[in-house]
Structure 1
Amino acid sequence: MSATPAAGPRLRFHTDPREFLAAAADYLAADPVVSTVVTTVAHRLLSQQEEGIVAPDRNWWLVVRDDSGAVVGAAMRAAPFAPYPPFLLPMSDAAAVALARALHDRGEEVLAVNGALPAAQLCAAELTRLGGGRVQVSQHTRLHELGELARPKPVPGRLVAATEDDVALATRWFDAFMGDADEQAGRPRGASAHEVPDRADMLRRIRAGQLWFWVDEAGQRVHLTGANPPSFGVARVGPVYTPPAQRGRGWASNAVAEVSRRIQDEGARVCLFTDQANPTSNRIYAALGYRPVVDMANLVIVR
């Protein structure tokens, strides 16, 4: 691990998610919905570490402390897809700028920054000031939490858990998810970098009960909904994908509602992200009872 000088926000980088979680647990647990991406990724990689899977050397976890030593921010660089963007939770303006300077001093190439606003924007702006280029918005996202679930109009079919026989289909639909989302939001297909799990990772998700299909009356798989296991009492739904030929039939609303109900019945809170440029998905989730929590963004640095 390494730390910045004591003056101003104090940044400490960790290479081990276990150390990070131990250091930042109280902070992360205080607002587990906002922290969901960082906590779910940390717990997932910790679980893989215990299975003997070695994480890339580029991964790091960050704890930000104020002058009193209290944790006041966190971030990570653990994305499994290029250009491996850091993900920032809310932090002070000074901390966001200090992080950019620390990354520059560490010699890290950073071509994208994701996370909470304005921290992500300030960090990206300082990186361009130090290294050149300009900042562009790849995607504006919004994190929502489910309040009281409003069940949608029922449709034919039912929710079924994915099985190992579904690996190929689930992988194709994971891959199609972001490309279709780009097109629906008016972006070029492939504009948004994203993770496509390999076979081993997809099998882990399926065996952990994290993927479901909606099947129609004929037993055909017409929709996919995933969810991350709870971290600090919060589970995040996603991806949510319906192939183009099956859209507009209520599959997504019913699948997400049923997955959300099951999560709440198990005692966890439920959240999900939407693309602010996709009015259809935002409308669907609002109708189910999801309410906005915080705006975030995926930023790219063009050099």
Structure 2
Amino acid sequence: MSPRLEFCTDPGEFLAAAGDYLAADPVVNTIVTSFAHRLLAQRADGVAQPERNWWLVVRDGSGAVVGAGMRTAPFEPYPPFLLPMPDEAAVALACALHERGQEVLGLNGALPAVELCAAELARLDGGRVRVSRHTRLHELGELASPAPVPGGLRVATEDDLNLATEWFDAFAGDADEQAGRPRGSSAHEVPDRAEMLRRLRSGWVWFWVDETGEPVHLIGANPPSFGVARVAPVYTPPAQRGRGWASNAVAAVSGRIRADGARVCLFTDQANPTSNKIYAALGYRPVADMANLVIVR
């Protein structure tokens, strides 16, 4: 029997249907679970979600959940994010989106689901599939302490709104350059003022400050979802790179999360050897490969 695709627009309804499935592998599912919980919190604050948003539950013939996905990206081209699912479900999803008349020009998430869905969408709607970025999900094993550097972590506050927003914005563009891509070639989320304030008020954004108290690095994390917190972004301005700020900040934040009882994960850009080397030295180990794909017409 073919897999059954169930779409919904309510993250609470989605979590009620797929929560057990998501909780069974919370590291691999971290993007979807953290977004679901974030949007639930935003809804509680009265923030309306765009009509384009949807959540997907994939069930097999017995009714068991065997996959999931979402379309909640707040940046163009609003790429869906797919978790692992049966191959036939990924192809069926492309057909469903085509029948719904939804324009999909990008797909992110687990391999091979995103490749199969993107290829079918390109066949149905025209175009060709191009890889924008190969990513790798890592989970912290045994945390290794880096060589110490001056200064320490400081929780970012509302007074840091402008600098935090500037560095969040710079993060993706600089990451493109470090990976050898044209700056701005990777679509990314830049929190608006309201969302940035929510993140600062949550206490999950930090600066590493040097011995004079000057911010030299920014690091954030998502609060735990099903016992897993994801570190992102990790940003050092160009003039401050090569001094050990990032290694020490990631180690300090990872250690705090681990001490509070949660597992810790993060994504790397496979084309950026510097960040991959840093995280491996700290004890992060590969879990799954994913990709960001673009459909060019």
What is the TM-score of this pair, normalised by structure 1? 0.98
Alignment of 1:218-297 (within 5 A): 218-297=212-291
**Correspondence for 1:206 among 194, 200, 203:** 200
Q: Does 1:38 align with 2:32?
A: yes
CA deviation profile, 1:185-225 (whole Å, cap 9, x unmatched) = 01000000001111111110011011000000111100000
Question: Matched residue of 2:225: which SS?
Answer: coil
Letter aligned with residue 21 of structure 2: Y
Aligned to 1:3: none
Q: Does 1:79 align with 2:112?
A: no
Aligned to 1:25: 19
CA deviation profile, 1:99-132 (whole Å, cap 9, x unmatched) = 0000000000000000000000000000000000
Which segments of structure 1 move beyond 6 Å, counting only runs of 4 or more?
none
Q: Aligned partners of 2:275 and 2:281: how far apart in 1?
A: 10
Aligned to 2:6: 12
* Aligned length, in residue pairs: 297
Q: Aligned partners of 1:88 and 1:199: how far apart in 2?
A: 28
Q: Aligned partners of 2:210 and 2:239: how far apart in 1?
A: 13
Q: How far apart are 1:266 and its partner, in Å?
A: 0.4
The gaps in structure 1 that reach 5 residues or longer are 1-6
CA deviation profile, 1:15-45 (whole Å, cap 9, x unmatched) = 0000000000110000000000000000000
Aligned to 1:176: 170
Aligned to 2:137: 143
Q: How far apart are 1:58 and its partner, in Å?
A: 0.2
Aligned to 2:106: 112
Letter aligned with residue 231 of structure 2: V
The gaps in structure 2 that reach 5 residues or longer are none
Letter aligned with residue 87 of structure 1: F
Q: Aligned partners of 2:36 and 2:116: how far apart in 1?
A: 24
Letter aligned with residue 53 of structure 1: V
Q: Aligned partners of 2:141 and 2:180: how far apart in 1?
A: 30
**Correspondence for 2:191 among 194, 197, 200:** 197
Q: Aligned partners of 1:100 and 1:49: how far apart in 2?
A: 29
Question: Matched residue of 1:230: which SS?
Answer: strand
What is the TM-score of this pair, normalised by structure 2? 0.99
CA deviation profile, 1:242-279 (whole Å, cap 9, x unmatched) = 00000000000000000000000000000000000000
Letter aligned with residue 102 of structure 2: E
Q: Percent identity?
A: 79
Alignment of 1:128-167 (within 5 A): 128-167=122-161
Q: How far apart are 1:159 and its partner, in Å?
A: 0.4
